[in-house]
Amino acid sequence: MKYSIIFFQYVAQYIKTRFTYRVDFVMGLFSDLLFQAVNLVFILVVFGHTQFLSGWSRDEIIFIYGFFLVPYALFGAFFNIWDFNERYIVKGEMDRILTRPVHSLFQIILERMELESLFGMFTGIGVMIYAGNRLGLSFAWYDPVLFIIMVIGGALVYAGIFVMLASISFWSDSPTSIMPMIYNIGNYGRYPVDIYNKIIRFVLTWILPFAFVGVYPAAYFLGRENWYMYAFLTPVMGIGFFSISILLWNIGVTKYRGAGN
């Protein structure tokens, strides 16, 4: 209950702050939409030269991309921790965080959240509806529930991976470029993994399981029965990776030496 109250208080203050600078807020939304549009155009350009990609049609690829946008938007809204090393470790703001009687990661999530990223969920759902109509997909009454579960699972996969990367900073406070590299690898989860070789497919499934953010859960709604097992593993992978990341974070906090040491 205490954490819920704190969360909604932070959200209320965030909204007040963002609407103080409305032009900046609108420009942020526009840049996100432009980024998503560029990726969609890339898919359309690829399929301007071929009708199928490893057995996947143009509209199926678009559907997967739309699904990917939904958990990614959820992740982007609450786990904006790209600069954790520089801001909280190198500059010493972690000292301030640890003086408060609330879990440190929870505080950082609230401080760094960007709720406007949630608009990407509507874009993703819109893309899915467009592609689903062209594919003639039909859905059961329980599919919306499965959709929510798989979206949360996919977001937790993303969050777990990047919280793990942020936790490395507790042992090594030197600036590192590993986060941008992993972020770029995450983009491969937007496309069917069977277009890659076996090594990349294995990495995207079990090492850096970004495939569980996009293609695997989307395959269920596309009726790809041979991938149903992976689709239903999505919430398991999400909870598993996020739990491991929290454990690693908690251990890392005990190793934190403080600014100036």
pLDDT of 213-239, one tens digit each?
999 999 999 999 989 999 999 999 999
pLDDT at 142: 93
Residue 36: Cβ within 10 Å count: 20
What pLDDT score was predicted for residue 143? 94
What is the rounded CA–CA span in Å between residue 189 and residue 208?
10
Q: 160 vs 83, 154, 173, 242, CA distance in Å?
A: 16, 10, 20, 4
Q: Give the pLDDT confidence score for residue 235 in this predicted structure.
A: 96
Strand residues in the chain grouped as ranges (E): 52-53, 56-57
How many residues are listed for the chain in this entry? Answer: 261
- Identify the CA nearest to 209 among candidates 151, 156, 132: 156
Structure tokens given for 183: 């972020």
Low-confidence stretches of the chain (pLDDT beneath 70): 22, 25, 28-29, 33, 35, 38-54, 173-177, 259-261
Per-residue buried b or exposed e for 135-165, using 16+ beta carbons within 10 Å of the residue's own CB: bebeeeeeeeebbeebbbbbbbbbbbbbbbb
Name, in order, each residue with C-beta under 8 angstroms of 195's C-beta and a sequence gap of 6 or more.
Answer: 53, 54, 56
217: nearest Cα among 206, 229, 208, 204:
229
pLDDT of residue 177: 64
In this prediction, residue 160 carries a pLDDT of 96
pLDDT of residue 70: 93
Single-letter code of the amino acid located at 103 = H
Do 208 and 182 form a contact (C-beta atoms < 8 A)? Answer: yes
Round to whole Å and give the CA distance between 214 and 79. Answer: 18
Write down the pLDDT at residue 82: 84
- pTM of this structure: 0.88
d(CA 60, CA 83): 35
Domain ranges of the chain: 2-255
pLDDT for res 205: 93
What pLDDT, on a 0 to 100 scale, did the predictor assign at position 52? 61
**What pLDDT, on a 0 to 100 scale, did the predictor assign at position 20?**
74
CA–CA gap between residue 165 and residue 55 (Å, rounded):
35
pLDDT for position 48 = 61
Q: Cα(first)–Cα(last) distance of the chain, in Å?
A: 37
